[in-house]
Amino acid sequence: MCGIVGFNGHHEAAEILLDGLTKLEYRGYDSAGIAVRDGSKDAKIIKAKGRLDHLKEKTDNGRSVAGTCGIGHTRWATHGEPSENNAHPHCSDDGNVIGVHNGIIENYQELKEKLVRNGYRFYSETDTEVAIKLVDYYYKKYLGTPVDAINHALVRIRGSYALELMFKEYPEEIYVARKDSPMILGVADGESFVASDVPAILKHTRTVYYIGNLQMARVGKGEITFYNLDGDEIEIEPKTIEWDAEAAEKSGYEHFMMKEIHEQPKAVADTLHSAVKDGKVDLSELGLTEERIRDFQQIYIVACGSAYHVGVAAQYTIEDLTDIPVRVELASEFRYRHIPLNEKSLVIVISQSGETADSLAALRKAKEKNLTTLGIVNVVGSSIAREADHVFYTLAGPEIAVATTKAYSSQLIATDCIAIYFGSVRGVLSDDRCAELLDALEKIPQQIEKILEDKERLQWFAAKQSNAHDVFFIGRGLDYAATLEGSLKLKEISYVHSEAYAAGELKHGTISLIEDGTLVISVLTQKRLIEKTVSNMVEVKSRGAYLMGLTTYGNYDIEDVADFTTYVPDTDPHFAISLAVVPLQLLAYYFSVSRGLDVDKPRNLAKSVTVE
């Protein structure tokens, strides 16, 4: 939630800040603002409600704002409605401290009352203004340095934050602090950069620092000094970003989502090949010993949103190929439940960003219980990657569209690799069976390309159905897992109400919602379950439903039941979801386009949920 940027160098800051915010607008687009300081002059703060274009208009794309040091923010509202008043940056009463913030200050009301008693006045409804004025309060109370003031303030703040601050008496410096909200810093050619995510600074530098929890930094021109919460200097090693700048651009596609759908073959292949050595799936580099793998009695998969749907699919595959019981848990529930956890358990936490607040909290809970943890993440150096005992990096590259596609597909392949490797180590799978499964996985990228070649039929169908008010997805087994993701994709970017159901559950209440013309989408890739699902299709058709069938080539009798049928290549049933999800992604995309909506930036949503 929310995107922050910062620049301190020799070029004009405003244009660089606005360009960085453009790359981060997927993190929030209720309002935006920048603060730029020109030498020792007072900083100029410009804010605008709505999309970033409004801020660009007010600043002539940054050309009307002079100065080489500045900070910026694009907002996803949590405290206070979207408005220019509530937009960041915020400042202290006399303009001494100016700052932006990503996260939630849980005790902001208590801190606000303290500051009011000490003469501070408030103009916004945000928790961020409270944080900025608290820093100002301690700066003046103790007459110390910015680091001292930030240190005193952070001790009082409960919640999550990525704070970026400028001080009037330190005109050529930016100060930052972090707890549970993402932040990276970069340097190049005597200039420094701050951002919530890599795409914002990728065109300027590949050398970045991942600031840790409860750490601070002073950002000079090309120099960054790091501090712990006690104010002592610490060392952080730089990392090199392997993504190229072009990966974060649209490359001729109308929307990032469509570009990322087409990048799935490469993302899947790259992730798979990172786990294959000498013709076998080999995850020994994760650091999990074979003895430990054989000792596991339970696996918990913990995630949110689409990553949770990956977990639902992985449950079927891992249990079938390893004989280990698997439980899939919503991270937001897992972190608060009192679960009798088995000591001989592996907790797999799945997150594209590696910063998802609930997933990170669930990981920490698992570690407190001394359970072995494995993170499946896409962002190197992210919080989950740093804190998990073991990490499987997916190689999806930057994903900009709010609705995930290639990250989801990469996570699926990662869990498939884990299933095959664990099954082999535990003696459940023979070498020949492992070879068959790997051969099927190797064909997935090419099969996805084949699906993408036939997307025009789905475009036609979506245009015909885009006025639907209610859509139901049904399937059994792994097909049910596919419907969960298909339904989420449709509702989040087209705003069409949709629900996914295990097909056998229809008769337990849901079928009463079916009426003439209701669109029901059935996924039928699991051969042993197709007959059962077809029976459910017949049930809803007799009540007036309009049926779409999604099945594998060869199952042409589905056309006898469905009003519209689309096909995916045949593969091992364990991996069919990797193919079935692609038409569902395309369907959601074309629904949204047909309805004239912003595909990449759906209302009320942001890419990374880094607040609770």
Q: Indicate the SS3 state at residue 538.
A: helix
Nearest CA to 402 out of 249, 260, 270 is that of: 260
Provide DSSP, 219-272.
E-SS-EEEEETTS-EE----EE--S-GGGGS-TT-SSHHHHHHHTHHHHHHHHH
Q: How far is Cα 181 from Cα 527, in angstroms, rounded to an integer?
A: 44
3-state class (DSSP) for residue 111: helix
What tokens appear for 536 in the block?
A: 């459910």
Burial of 10 by CB count in 10 Å (0-12 exposed, 13-18 middle, 19+ buried)? exposed
Catalytic, 607? Answer yes
Task: Supply the Cα-derived Rg of the chain in whole angstroms.
Answer: 25
Which of 282, 145, 194 shows the shortest CA–CA distance to 9? Answer: 194
Q: Label each residue of 284-332 as H, E or C.
A: HHHCCCHHHHHHCCEEEEEECHHHHHHHHHHHHHHHHHHCCCEEEEEHH
Structure tokens at 526: 């699991």
Provide the β-strand partners of residue 549.
522, 565
> Among the options 49, 455, 491, 607, which is catalytic?
607
The DSSP call for residue 89 is P
The active-site residue out of 2, 69, 417, 434 is 2
Q: Three-state SS for 438?
A: helix
Closest CA to 27 of 59, 73, 63: 73
Give the per-residue SS3 of 398-411: CCCCCCCCHHHHHH
Q: How far apart are CA 234 and CA 525, in angstroms?
A: 54
CB 383 within 8 A of CB 349: no
Is 277 a residue of the active site?
no
Query: Nearest to residue 135, comparing CAs of 148, 122, 125?
Result: 148
User: Please, is 64 exposed, middle or buried when counting C-beta atoms within 10 Å of its C-beta (0-12, 13-18, 19+)?
Assistant: exposed
Catalytic residues: 2, 607
